[in-house]
Amino acid sequence: MAHPINILERYWNFTSFRPLQEEIIQSVLEGEDTFALLPTGGGKSMCFQIPALVKEGICIVISPLVALMRNQVNVLQNKGIKAMALTSGISYNELDTLLDNCIYGNYKFLYLSPERLQQDIVQQRIKQMNVNLIAVDEAHCISQWGNDFRPAYKNIVTLRQLHPQTNIVALTASATPEVVDDIVKELDCIKPKIFNQSFYRKNLAYMTFHEEDKLYKLEAILKKNKAPSIIYVRSRKATIEIDNLLTHKGFQSTFYHGGLSNTEKESRLEAWLNNDFQIMVATNAFGMGIDKPDVKTVIHLNLPDSIESYFQEAGRAGRNGDKAFAVILKNKNDEILVKNQFLKVLPTIDFIKTVYKRLNNYFQIPYGEGEHQTFAFNFNDFCKTYKFNSILTYNTLQALERTGILNLNKQFNNKTRIQFIVSNSNMFKYLENNSDLNSIVKTILRTYGGIFEQETKINTVLIADKVSITEEILIKALVKLSDEKIITLFHSKTDAEITFIEPREDDKTINRVARIIEQQIQLRQKQIASVLDYINNNETCKSKQLLSYFGNNKANDCGICSVCIASKKNNTINITIVKKEIIKCLEGGEQSSRALIETLALSEENILNALQELLEYDIINITKKNTYKLAHI
């Protein structure tokens, strides 16, 4: 057998392992069930890829994301290693051939989703394979208390029955102690060796700033740290708006979100990796393939939806060991927004039962039937027919999919996409001669920003309702605009497919999974509460707060986060000195708080506290222009 270090040098061109990698690989090679908890950037994939290459046979890799599977398979194939992924859209005959190749074609890696593992043909062929290792990536998905719980992950234990002598390695980047215990139990691990790399990052300063003008603070951070940066925002529209704003300010910026084509994603990522752009403005779709060690700042303009996702996204800064910053910019509206976005849209069990019944009625499925039947599904029409809130309904369908009641092919995310390809002035000249399209075009422009810059998904039912026309008339108008080269248009009549996995039993069907759904709702509420606790706690070191969340309650203060720095400044700077400095500045004329912060080499918090005291004692006044001036002037 080749030695792991030789494999590392041959395929990855490295001469040494990262922390814990060698110990994990050795545990796997010794046939032990192994659990690896490594932070983002810790090199998890090598922990199963290298031992699988050392041993004879094929490694079965369970992964939840098609994009992640394809990415890893492409990387392996580029190294000359035979690997394949069984993704969706593969015909039975093609699947048959691919599985035969795994048995007889000297393949080293077979990637598949937990749902694919449920197919009889897949199980039968895996039984015939010489499986040298079972690797479970993103293992937290198996836990009902884990981020992104996937019930199908519970079927992974089938692999243990097919190959009882083969050991298993489970890997994740974020898991609480409760989730770790759950993973080990669900995977039926026998005395597993658990490797838990410390989440402490001594070079990463976690910062939380309360800012009424977030964009001003954002600009100041980027000017101060002129190095590669990632800015996370909540929506696709915001990526375009923030990118435009930064570009206008003279920054080298680009944007990334899930609605871009694969070609656009790859080109934008490549340009940023090559430092053609300093800044990447992105949604949380920007996660995979980001192996850029010199990222100086990761800034969240909106609150993250969980500590787990924040820790992974923040961890993309400072992988080269240099000082780096993970910043959350918040204001008084954020708490309301995050609750509206993530908590108010959680469906109740009663609502889920109602949607499930209406779904069966919509497709005219009799009681006791429907199992494994597939239907073309118009999501917008379904919501309109039963007067359902679209976001609540979408979250309901996701809950039904996660719990194995149905399978949803989410093509409706791309049902109708348009982009205006003429200039603004030419478009309005066109409308002068086509007044019948005036209200349609103006409604679209008012509803969707950035539609001149890039192809944008539109809700045809929403636009039709706003203009008081039918959806059919709207589609005809869009086709006309496309034919006359005013817009580009992509439109598909059926926007999704639904496959019912279980026969219809109405409330009985939902009652079987109600406990799991309620647990997921509780988990969501707990995750949001943890995020709010984190951003509002200005007494405890930010690094300690994060480490405590993941079970490390013995960490020391980091000394470099926003809490630690404020504590140092509060201990060393006398408020009287700050007030004297402010008075000296105001003797030259009135100034805004922003100007004072820029002028004085003092912390923003100290300046604002001093201003408050000066106001209370009538030493200074606030003018109508919202500036400060000395009271006696």
- Give the Cα separation of 525 and 339 in Å (integer): 9
pLDDT in tens, 179-218: 999 999 999 998 899 998 888 899 999 999 998 889 999 9
Give the residue from 196, 226, 255 where a domain finishes. 196
CATH number at residue 215: 3.40.50.300
72 and 219 co-located in one domain = no
**pLDDT above 80 for 568:** no
Return the percentage of the chain with pLDDT > 70, whole number: 96
131 and 41 in a common domain:
yes
Task: Look at residues 141, 170, 196 and tell me which one is the last residue of a structural domain.
Answer: 196
Collapsed DSSP state (helix, strand, coil) of residue 62:
strand
Here the tokens at position 290 are 């980001």
Task: Clarify whether residues 212 and 287 are in a common domain.
Answer: yes
Classify residue 277: in a domain, yes or no.
yes
- 554 lies in some domain: no
Instruction: Specify whether 354 is located in the same domain as 482.
Output: no
Closest CA to 399 of 335, 361, 350, 459: 350
Beta bridge partners of 373: 500
Quote the CA–CA distance of 67 and 354 in Å, as a whole number. 33
Note whether 160 and 26 are same-domain residues: yes
Whether 117 and 190 map to the same domain: the answer is: yes
Are 275 and 384 members of one domain?
Answer: no
pLDDT at position 39, please? 77
Q: Are 501 and 595 within one domain?
A: no
Please give the residue that has the higher pLDDT: either 414 or 279: 279
CATH number of the domain to which 508 belongs: 1.10.10
In a domain, 239, yes or no: yes
Q: Are residues 44 and 21 in the same domain?
A: yes
Instruction: Kindly state the average pLDDT of the residues 66-75.
Output: 86
Specify whether 268 is located in the same domain as 124.
Answer: no
Residue pair 171/38 in contact by the 8 Å Cβ criterion: yes
In a shared domain, residues 370 and 510? yes
**Domain with 609 in it: what CATH number?**
1.10.10.10
Instruction: Show the tokens assigned to 575.
Output: 């408020």
The chain-wide mean pLDDT, for the chain, equals 89
Q: Which of 196, 216, 238 is the last residue of a domain?
A: 196
In a domain, 532, yes or no: no
CB atoms within 10 A of CB 84: 21
Q: 557 or 450: which carries more pLDDT confidence?
A: 557
Mean pLDDT computed over 587-591 = 89
**Which residues pair with residue 499 across a beta bridge?**
374, 407
Is a pLDDT exceeding 90 seen at residue 107? yes
Least confident of 226-230, 447-451, 546-550: 447-451
| 545 class by beta-carbon count within 10 Å (0-12 exposed, 13-18 middle, 19+ buried) | buried
Return the percentage of the chain with pLDDT > 90, whole number: 54
> What range does the domain containing 276 cover?
204-331
Which pLDDT does position 314 carry in this prediction?
93
Q: Which range, 147-151, 342-346, 545-549, 624-628, is most confident?
A: 545-549
Domain-embedded: residue 553: no
pLDDT band at 413 (very low <50, low <70, confident <90, very high): very low
423 inside domain: yes
| Residue 131 confidence (pLDDT) above 80 | yes
Does residue 290 have a pLDDT over 80? no
Residues 58, 183 within the same domain = yes
Per-residue pLDDT band for 357 (boundaries 50, 70, 90) equals very high
Whether residue 530 lies inside any domain: the answer is no
CB 298 within 8 A of CB 314: yes
Domain assignment present for 541:
no
* Contact in structure between 596 and 240 (CB atoms under 8 Å): no
Q: Number of structural domains, the chain?
A: 5
